[in-house]
Amino acid sequence: MTDSTSGSRPGRDIRPYSGYHNQPAPNDDTFITSVGRGTPGGEYLRRYWHPFLLSSELGDLPVPVRLLGEDLVVFRDGSGRVGLLHRHCIHRGASLEYGIIAERGIRCCYHGWHFDVDGTILDTPAEPPTIRIKSTFCQGAYKVHEWKGLLFAYMGPVDEMPPFPEYDTVDHPTDNAPVPFRMNLPCNWVQIVENGCDPIHNAYLHAIVAGQQFSATFKVLPQLDFPRTPIGFLSMATRQVGEHVFIRASDIALPNFGQFPNGANLADRESLGLRPYLSRWAVAVDDHNSFYIGLAHLNSYNNPSGSMAPEDFGVDQIPFIGQTGDRPHAERQREPGDYDAVVTQGQVANRRAEHLGSTDRGVVQFRRMLSQAIHDVQEGRRPEVPRLTAAGPTRTYASEIVVKVPPGALDDPKALAAFGQKAALAFVATDHLLGAEREEATTRKVQDLLAEFLATTAK
């Protein structure tokens, strides 16, 4: 008797109507997607600072949060310090979500045990003074850092705490106003990062197939490239749009940070800037839920007409279609957005069942780098990227470059891609500088590069 389920590998039976033979492979690989303490991926993520709440979400009551699979509670005590504690009281487990905030720390509602923001037990009022609980135990606590309206947590081993990385994009251009936001998605965090590693979806999801969400410029199919940077790599697309070359490069920084230009560029005049529109982290709530959280940079470059206001950003709110699941279902079907594409890959996308193409190179590169970094942590090594330093802001590389070229000069796709890559990497060569100085130096470099390319292609 023949086994009708055996034979060719799933997805390789190309006979018409062969669904029976092309079942997806089992989704059994959790190496890069697991986030719990003690799992490979979870231990790796616990070596970094992660934003988890907007400062504006923290009022006069404790807030229950779930982060990296752990149930926690966050509060601001009477003296303004922020505590992030294991949610369940170490006495007998009542939730500190119902704790009473004190001038110093928080007091459990059930029997009054009093904890400082670092987990120290300050008081066990029902116990006789001779009992030594206070000096023997403490409530689990994590360090919190507040920056630009975001609360960040470090949940790893105390001795491995990295410096808190500030980024060079918040103070540039000088009129920049960083505005916090947080968007919830019922799927694993890796899918959110992979969406940023996939610039060809900007052409299809955001311009050609689902609707005109980005500018018409994005209908032009680009050359893709993913060159390495000191913090990760660039996820970049280079297009010839009329008489201009438009180079759009997003930062992918390990483990979960990304910076993205907006989708409005018409590429109809020359410009060059180190000016992402969004800086965002993809943060794991648990294996099956995440949020992306970060800062929108409202300034004269990203928001020249002032059409976007700080009030347009918040929790589950961003002024771009398709970022939440709260639109009517039929409307989401007619014009799907990132949320609909990314969440429907599955709570944890089945990477074993994929059939990757040449345009998925960025996704593959991210997975390789992520796997390597997880292995490094497993073996007690510090991952090679990102190199974070406490001295000065961490340099980033996301940019948009539009330059005019003579007709036909960069018609060869290889020459176009090569120029795009070199021009985007000019920001790496100038990363000893900051702000306007760096942009000026980069502008000169890009102009020289273009002159070189034109001289070569004219030969």
Is 73 a binding residue for ligand FES by CB under 6 A? The answer is no
Between helix 361-378 and helix 189-196 the angle, nearest 10°, is 130
The residues near 141 (Cβ < 8 Å, ≥ 6 apart) are 83, 84, 85, 86, 115, 117, 118, 119
The correct pick among 97, 168, 338, 439 for binding Fe ion (CB under 5 A) is 338
**DSSP H/E element including 106:** strand 106-107
> Interacting stretch for ligand FES, rule CB under 6 A, among 59-67, 111-119, 366-374, 410-418?
111-119
92 binds, among Fe ion, ligand FES, none (CB under 5 to 8 A by kind): ligand FES
How far apart are CB 128 and ligand FES at their closest, in Å?
15
Q: Any contact of residue 113 with ligand FES (CB under 6 A)?
A: yes
Residue 338 binding partner per list Fe ion, ligand FES, none, with a CB distance cut-off of 5 to 8 Å that depends on partner kind: Fe ion
292 binds ligand FES (CB under 6 A): no
- Report, in Å, the least distance between residue 126 CB and ligand FES: 8
The C-alpha atoms of residue 284 and residue 183 are separated, in whole angstroms, by 12
Across-strand partners of 152?
A: 51, 145
287 binds, among ligand FES, Fe ion, none (CB under 5 to 8 A by kind): none
Among 46, 91, 239, 395, binds ligand FES (CB under 6 A): 91
Nearer to Fe ion, 338 or 431 (CB): 338
Between CA 161 and CA 391 the distance in angstroms is 16
Per CB under 6 A, 110 contacts ligand FES: yes
SS3 (DSSP) at 424: helix
Question: 111 or 375, CB closer to ligand FES?
Answer: 111
Position 85 contacts ligand FES (CB under 6 A): no
Instruction: Kindly state whether residue 121 participates in binding ligand FES, applying the rule CB under 6 A.
Output: no
Q: Which of 73, 85, 108, 416 binds ligand FES (CB under 6 A)?
A: 108
Q: Residue count of the chain, please give it.
A: 459
- Taking the mean position of all CA atoms in its chain, how far away is CA 213? 21
Which one of the spans 91-99, 218-226, 228-236, 396-404 is the region binding ligand FES (CB under 6 A)? 91-99
d(Cα 424, Cα 415) in Å, to the nearest integer? Answer: 14
Q: Toward Fe ion, which CB reaches closer, 168 or 338?
A: 338
Helix (H) or strand (E) holding 417: helix 413-429
Candidates 73-81, 108-116, 352-360, 385-393; binding stretch for ligand FES (CB under 6 A): 108-116
Rounded CA-CA distance 442/3 in Å is: 63
Partner from ligand FES, Fe ion, none contacting 94, C-beta within 5 to 8 A by type: ligand FES
Q: Which of 105, 112, 70 is nearest to 87 (CA)?
A: 70
Sheet strands (E) in 218-360 = 223-225, 228-229, 232-241, 244-253, 257-260, 271-273, 278-286, 289-298
Which residues of this protein are in contact with Fe ion, per CB under 5 A?
A: 338
- Interface with ligand FES (CB under 6 A): 89, 91-94, 108, 110-113
